[in-house]
Amino acid sequence: MRMLNGKKIVLGITGSIAAYKAAVLVRLLVKEGAEVKVIMTDAAKQFITPLTMATLSKNPVLVEFFNPENGDWNSHVKLGLWADLFLVAPASANTIGKMACGIADNLLLTTYLSAKCPVALAPAMDLDMYAHAAHQQNLEALRTRNVLIIEPASGELASGLQGKGRMEEPEKIVEQLRAFFEKKQQLSGKHFLVTAGPTYESIDAVRFIGNYSSGKMGYAIAEELAQRGAQVTLVSGPVSVCAKHQNIKVEKVSSAEEMYNAAVRAFEAADGAVMAAAVADFTPEEKQAGKLKRKNSALTLKLAATKDIAAALGKVKRANQVLVGFALEAANEQANAEKKLREKNLDFIVLNSMNDAGAGFNVDTNKICITDKSGTKTAYDLKPKAAVAADIVDKIIAVSRKEIKG
């Protein structure tokens, strides 16, 4: 399959000696059937001419916010909406730094900030610049925002030094883009339910029992599923994170009971569900109307058990549906996780240990261990939650394939 056929690609070129390779890159993209529009920074024009790029891309090259000849506005918003991919190659350390910080002082950067499509970049710079902590932090910031970083190769650099920093070869960039678009289709036509965030159990009109879940892990999973082409119903407790992808439909709920109802409803038509919410296990038996007045004596709340959403879905799960649960454990981690896997009839369980630094609630990273129902156990390193979400979705795809074959 020609993965790039018909794809609309905005190629941003920045000031780097590797800009000459952008000519080959455009030729290859056009040969693959992609439509390419080129934006160049002023510095890029010192390395390769707009005429060369316009000829190869068969489209006018954009540099300024306004066409100096007739004053027409080059709409960065429209370009960002038009594209299926915004690729910056070569991406200089300067442009990467500006992208990471949201600086918008040229057309390439305003296009980046208004792009709704996926973004990829191929860094090109000297080895020391590439290795510098400031640059590495910028790359990490972009990675956590789901920018695909096409790692530079090692070899001879323009400075004469040897090391990592050479822009990846155009053929290899095209290969990575093909794989990227292929991944985007992996779950097309599929529908997933994801639960995320905490639940709030009302005590009275102003007080509730809640927990510290930020919803970040569940939202990252919804985002990853959507990026692979799935439609996602995200049943979310009260959180401050937002869903970005257009394939995600968010259903906001507050209590465990509301989450249960929304999840059961959505699961019926879903191909799978990921239960990432930290659902309250208990809820006040009586919700007081108005605000409880303070007394000088102790207050006893009677709590009732909430319904276990994952277990309820496990009971009605069809053979072709995948059900994934989480276990946040403080002790006897693996044994407890395996018990939940069995009791809730899950296909696999994602274990977070409260004893691992950087894992769990309210952080941007996570360290997980996945155990599936056949007993296979895989431990992963500490990673940003977006990367953890990718590992979980890879496992969902592997498990679904097995179900279909088996």
* Active site positions, annotated: 211
32 counts as binding ligand CTP under rule CB under 6 A = no
326 counts as binding ligand CTP under rule CB under 6 A = yes
Nearer to ligand CTP, 57 or 353 (CB): 353
220 counts as binding ligand CTP under rule CB under 6 A = no
DSSP string, 37-72: EEEE-TGGGGTS-HHHHHHHHTS--B-SSB-TTT--
- Shortest gap between Cβ of 305 and ligand CTP (angstroms)? 8
Long-range contacts of range 100-109, CB-CB < 8 Å, 24 or more positions apart? 100/137, 100/138, 100/139, 100/141, 100/142, 101/138, 106/41, 106/42, 107/39, 107/62, 107/63, 107/64, 107/65, 107/74, 107/76, 108/12, 108/14, 108/39, 108/40, 108/41
111 counts as binding ligand CTP under rule CB under 6 A = no
DSSP string, 66-108: B-TTT--B--HHHHHHH-SEEEEEEE-HHHHHHHHHT---SHH
Residue of 328, 341, 386, 393 that binds ligand CTP (CB under 6 A): 328
Nearer to ligand CTP, 85 or 217 (CB): 217
Return the residue matching tokens 């996602």: 232
- Shortest gap between Cβ of 406 and ligand CTP (angstroms)? 24
Task: Judge contact between 165 and 17, C-beta under 8 A.
Answer: no
Instruction: Determine the longest span between alpha carbons in the chain, in angstroms.
Output: 83
Query: Shortest CA distance to 168 belongs to which of 113, 118, 112, 130?
Result: 130
Looking only at residues 195 through 214 of this chain, which bind ligand CTP when binding is defined by CB under 6 A?
Answer: 195
Nearer to ligand CTP, 118 or 197 (CB): 197
279 counts as binding ligand CTP under rule CB under 6 A = yes
107 counts as binding ligand CTP under rule CB under 6 A = no
Nearer to ligand CTP, 327 or 387 (CB): 327
Nearer to ligand CTP, 115 or 263 (CB): 263
Residue of 196, 327, 341, 399 that binds ligand CTP (CB under 6 A): 327
Nearer to ligand CTP, 39 or 217 (CB): 217
Separation of CA 24 from chain center: 30
Nearer to ligand CTP, 195 or 321 (CB): 195
193 counts as binding ligand CTP under rule CB under 6 A = no
352 counts as binding ligand CTP under rule CB under 6 A = no
Stretch that binds ligand CTP, among 120-128, 142-150, 273-281, 363-371 (CB under 6 A): 273-281
395 counts as binding ligand CTP under rule CB under 6 A = no
Stretch that binds ligand CTP, among 49-57, 65-73, 319-327, 376-384 (CB under 6 A): 319-327
The span from the CA of 379 to the CA of 391, in Å, is 11
- Shortest gap between Cβ of 287 and ligand CTP (angstroms)? 18
234 counts as binding ligand CTP under rule CB under 6 A = no
Phi, psi of 214 (to 5 degrees): -95, -15
Phi, psi of 319 (to 5 degrees): -60, -30
Task: Judge contact between 152 and 168, C-beta under 8 A.
Answer: yes
Task: Judge contact between 99 and 142, C-beta under 8 A.
Answer: yes
- Shortest gap between Cβ of 321 and ligand CTP (angstroms)? 15
256 counts as binding ligand CTP under rule CB under 6 A = yes
38 counts as binding ligand CTP under rule CB under 6 A = no
The span from the CA of 190 to the CA of 273, in Å, is 11
Binding residues for ligand CTP, per CB under 6 A? 195, 256, 275, 277, 279, 281, 306, 308-310, 325-328, 340
